Amino acid sequence: MAQEPDQYSDIRAGVERLCQQFPGAYWREKDETRSYPVEFVEALTESGYLSVMIPEAYGGAGLPLGAACVILEEIHRSGCNGGACHAQMYTMGTLLRHGSEAQKQRYLPDIAVGKLRLQAFGVTEPNSGTDTTRIATRAVRDGDDYVVNGQKIWISRAEHSDLMVLLVRTADRAASAKSTDGMSVLLVDMRSALGNGLTIKPIKTMMNHGATELFFDDLRVPVGNRIGEEGAGFRYIMDGMNAERILIAAECIGDARYFVASAARYATEREVFGGPIGGNQGVQFPIARAHIQTEAAAGMVARAVGLFESGASCGAEANMAKLLASEASWGAGDTCIQTHGGFGFAVDYDIERKFRETRLYQVAPISTNLILSHVATHELGMPKSF
């Protein structure tokens, strides 16, 4: 099949070489012990892959979103997992686009070289879910500080991050002109906050994703750590969400290609009843269909990347790319397990781990149902269902 030239082929090859140093046994051990892949994250950092979108002026590579997508796709296609570190690629965008020059000079160079980790993104709350306008965590101004009280949930990597981008209410929803007004973004130094108003409670889940619940009890955050204007935080967060959804979609494409390649290889090598099982249409056709669905989803991801990089509106495309890619990866994973039969459930084959990991992305960072609602109302003009 003819393919267009890959402008990031060198990056793709470099990430593949790096990932070969972290085979399935490495990830199985991390999964078994529920531990953070420190060595993998450090290797990505030292190679410059996590700072690819940070401008050169602050020590990064200054490359566009497409390069970051290639990195995350290749990580997942190689059997590894970018969930331990992908947030840095999109979370730092809030700081880069809306932070002051002093804030960028203070933090971005250290993030670029790995002295600081910006991996935590504090938005979701137990009683608001995906309705971000109803968050209740409150920050009240007290002199040169904000005093933060409230709770967040499903905050990944909080135990392994030095900094967190935190969305809080600085004005009541009812008192704001619009429901999206009255929210602000604070950059929290987790190192000094922990035990001084911040409590982190790990949540055990079906995959090793470092999920946590956060409790804020009179946590003091300097006003100088507010990003942008007070009350404009929702817009700042939304700016980064399109990038987040496109990057997650790229990970799903990587997962799907991993599953398709694994299934095709096994179907070609595995012999039952005197021949390779891949010679049976009942085995080979589902794999071929998974491949077609993956490549179709990859086309939507590429379209969303192009719009994002050109500065055009891409909310619908980012959402559609994430939906299609997450469903393609889940479908390819199901086909891969079916192809392997009992071996698909064996831990040593790594497929069941990848299967669990990719299932997350139909729920996070935005659920499939919310994407469908967005497309129905914003693209098709139908009435809101909630």
Can you list the alpha helix ranges (DSSP code H) found in 311-349? 315-340
For tokens 């130094």, what's the residue? 189
Q: What is the pLDDT at residue 275?
A: 97
2 Rama class: left (phi>0) / alpha (psi -120 to 50) / beta: beta
Q: What is the pLDDT at residue 129?
A: 84
Which residues is 121 bridged to in the sheet? Answer: 165
Between 240 and 301, the more confident residue is: 301
Q: What is the pLDDT at residue 5?
A: 60
- The strand ranges marked E within 86-205 are 118-122, 138-142, 145-156, 163-169, 183-189, 198-202
pLDDT band for 164, please (50, 70, 90 cuts). very high
b/e sequence 91-118, b meaning 16+ C-beta within 10 Å: bbbbbbebbeeebbebbbbbbbbbebbb
Q: How far apart are CA 173 and CA 171, in angstroms?
A: 6
CA dihedral 91, 364, 14, 261 (to 10 degrees): -170
Q: What is the pLDDT at residue 183?
A: 98
Going by C-alpha positions, the residue among 258, 265, 270, 257 that lies closest to residue 341 is: 270
Tens of pLDDT, residues 118-148: 999 999 999 998 889 999 999 999 999 999 9
Task: Report CA 100 to chain centroid distance, whole Å.
Answer: 25
**Burial class, 311, CB count within 10 angstroms (exposed 0-12 / middle 13-18 / buried 19+):** exposed
Strand 211-222 vs strand 145-156: parallel, antiparallel, or unpaired?
antiparallel
Tens of pLDDT, residues 319-361: 999 999 999 999 999 999 999 999 999 999 999 999 999 999 9
Is the pLDDT at 303 greater than 60, yes or no?
A: yes
Tens of pLDDT, residues 66-105: 999 999 999 999 999 999 999 888 888 899 999 999 999 9
Mean pLDDT of the chain: 95
Angle formed at CA 11 by CA 7 and CA 12, multiple of 5 degrees:
90
Q: What structural domains and CATH numbers belong to the chain?
A: 9-113 (1.10.540.10), 118-231 (2.40.110.10), 235-379 (1.20.140.10)
271's enclosing H/E stretch is strand 271-272
